Amino acid sequence: MKSRPDTSSRKATNVTIDAGLLEHAKKLGINIFKASEQGLARAVTAKQEAIWLQANQAALESSNAYVDGNGIPLAKHRNF
């Protein structure tokens, strides 16, 4: 599940960024606002994935234990 920023509504915010990193990014022509938004979107996605994995850990372990003990369901019908 990939989260994309809603471009129809924006909210101004202030952030503090390492001065050297900011200057380097400017020299390279990096759009700081876009890079910040993309980085935040990646961080949000990673956190959502971690939360989902934690919430579903028991189900995943149960499913893996079943396959370990019984094999893949309907494996005899596989053609590959």
Using one digit for the tens of pLDDT, what is the confidence trace for 9-56?
889 999 999 999 999 999 999 999 999 999 999 999 999 999 999 999
Residue 4 pLDDT level (bands cut at 50, 70, 90): low
Q: How many helices (H) and strands (E) does the chain have?
A: 3, 0
Radius of gyration of the chain (CA): 22
**φ and ψ at 46, to 5 degrees?**
-60, -40
- Alpha-helical (H) ranges within 56-78 are 57-70
> CA neighbours within 13 Å on the CB side: how many for 48?
10
Whole-structure pTM value:
0.69
